[in-house]
Amino acid sequence: MLDFMPVVLSNQTAEAHWGRAPVLTFRAEQAWIHTGDEPLRRIQQAARKLAAMQLPGVSLVGDGWDMACQWAFAQGYASAKKPGELRLAPLNAGEQKELNDRIKVTRFVRDLVNETPENLPPVELCQRVIEFLEQLAPGRIKSRIIEGEALREQGWVGTYQVGRGSDRPPAMLQLEFCPPGQEQAPIAAALVGKGITFDSGGYSMKASESMLTMKIDMGGAATVAGALALAILHGLDKRVALILCCAENLVSGHAYKLGDILHYKNGTSVEIVNTDAEGRLVLADGLLYAGELGAPLVFDAATLTGAAVTALGTDYNAVFALDKGLSQRYLQYAAEQGELHWPLPLEKFHQNNCPSPYADTANSKPVKGGGPGGASNAAGFLSRFVPNGGMGWVHVDLAAAAHSNDNALWSAGGTAVGVLTMAHALIVETK
């Protein structure tokens, strides 16, 4: 039988001998979290400290453990190196289901992001997502995986070109959630995710220290899959498409090259000036397919640019939209869900900020990091491929989706930040 460490909440300041405003102290064989004036943040910080102690298990006991506090603890306590067992405090039935759903889905997302790239090639990523969603909604998931040469034959040029340098084929997952009675209804929304299962940078090769964490470059695919999963558990009753554009960006005699020109289905030609600006190339396919489906609402997510991290750090996800009303609502949904998101600029003119003498546009600027405004220029590139002139579309650059190292709030690896917001937005915006 596990020996659980009891964990208690306290709004009292710790005794002076514990140091200056500690978040965690111990007394009477219990761990005490001192919540102070930022209770949720301090609870998450305390959970990180307890996870690092490698205890057999912890049990949340005493008063004050509402759902928000338990969710904060669960986020901090999660780790790629599995921590001890977590015993939650009692909640009413509705809140208990909500908390369990969040933990179940975000654990799936984080485990996907943390998976070694050797074990998660593009087709495998698609298959794991299908299996997870089918478990949640048996009989309501329709899917197909297009892989390898079939991508080229069907015109999905971005995903094919980015992934053709690998011996393991690129793949596009085209999946639909069809609730009962909605089989003939139009698609209400599409979720599009970047699924680069490993990113070497291609011929624009990353330095080793930058490449080390690039198993997380499929965080967008994991995020949108998690968002659909959570929305299903929350009672989603509309037909929704999930589109994952998956590839390994590697170097070989078959890899795409600088100076290549890609011709997309909508007639847009793209000169490759940086093979490490590959995420936008695969997402373009997904956005075009969302348009083919007639989706009036499109959310995409990607670990797309270092520029977003430079602008916001790793605490916030960046939000871009030409539809300013939808952008404002999306940011409000993020605030309601307690996930940090922040708007960055996107206007029509950003489409033309990466000019090419040989094609309609380049895929970036031929300078390190894409130059000034790189995150907005990447979003501008994507806006060339969205339906409805960008109305009904939100692009999320997942600056907060993963961390290279442990910090005060998060373990190294995936965070699943963004899943709650997108799931909530999907349900509200399709009503």
28 or 41, higher pLDDT: 41
- Under 8 Å CB-to-CB from 223, ≥6 apart: which residues? 109, 193, 301, 396, 398, 401, 416, 418, 419, 422
Distance CA 122, CA 416 (A): 20
Distance CA 144, CA 132 (A): 15
Distance CA 279, CA 382 (A): 10
Distance CA 166, CA 398 (A): 25
Tell me what the pLDDT averaged over the chain comes to: 96
Q: What confidence score (pLDDT) does residue 336 get?
A: 97
pLDDT tens digit string along 89-147? 999 999 999 999 999 999 999 999 999 999 999 999 999 999 999 999 999 999 999 99
- pLDDT > 70 in the chain, percent: 100
SS (H, E, C) 48-68: HHHHHCCCCEEEECCCCCCHH
> Across residues 331-353, what is the average pLDDT?
98
Q: What angle do CA 394, 397, 403 make, to 5 degrees?
A: 145
Whole-model pTM above 0.85? yes
Strand order in the sheet with 361-362: 261-263, 269-271, 361-362
pLDDT tens digit string along 260-281? 999 999 999 999 999 999 999 9
- Under 8 Å CB-to-CB from 149, ≥6 apart: which residues? 160
Q: What confidence score (pLDDT) does residue 369 get?
A: 77
> Across residues 161-184, what is the average pLDDT?
96
Distance CA 156, CA 307 (A): 27
> Does residue 82 register a pLDDT over 90?
no
Domain ranges of the chain: 5-91, 107-429
- Under 8 Å CB-to-CB from 267, ≥6 apart: which residues? none
Q: How far is CA 218 from the centre of its chain?
A: 8
> Could you say which DSSP state residue 275 is in?
T
- Under 8 Å CB-to-CB from 425, ≥6 apart: which residues? 299, 329, 330, 333, 394
- Under 8 Å CB-to-CB from 292, ≥6 apart: which residues? none
pLDDT tens digit string along 312-337? 999 999 999 999 999 999 999 999 99
Distance CA 265, CA 258 (A): 21
**Catalytic, out of 41, 49, 87, 206:** 206
Distance CA 210, CA 47 (A): 29
The helix/strand/coil state of 347 is: coil
User: How would DSSP label each residue in 108-160?
Assistant: HHHHHHHS-GGG--HHHHHHHHHHHHHHHSTT-EEEEEEETHHHHHHT-HHHH
Q: How far is CA 87 from the centre of its chain?
A: 27
Q: How far is CA 322 from the centre of its chain?
A: 21
Strand order in the sheet with 85-87: 24-27, 30-34, 5-10, 57-60, 85-87
Is 280 among the residues known to form the active site?
A: yes
- pLDDT > 90 in the chain, percent: 93
pLDDT tens digit string along 95-109? 999 999 999 999 999
Distance CA 106, CA 419 (A): 8
Q: How confident is the model at residue 160 (pLDDT cuts 50, 70, 90)?
A: very high
Q: What confidence score (pLDDT) does residue 358 get?
A: 98
pLDDT tens digit string along 228-262? 999 999 999 999 999 999 999 999 999 999 999 99
Q: What confidence score (pLDDT) does residue 2 get?
A: 57
> Does residue 1 register a pLDDT over 60?
no
> Across residues 376-385, what is the average pLDDT?
98
**Catalytic, out of 280, 324, 348, 365:** 280
Alpha helices in 305-418 (DSSP H): 306-312, 324-337, 374-383
Beta bridge partners of residue 194, listed in sequence order: 245
Domain 107-429 has CATH 3.90.1150.10: no
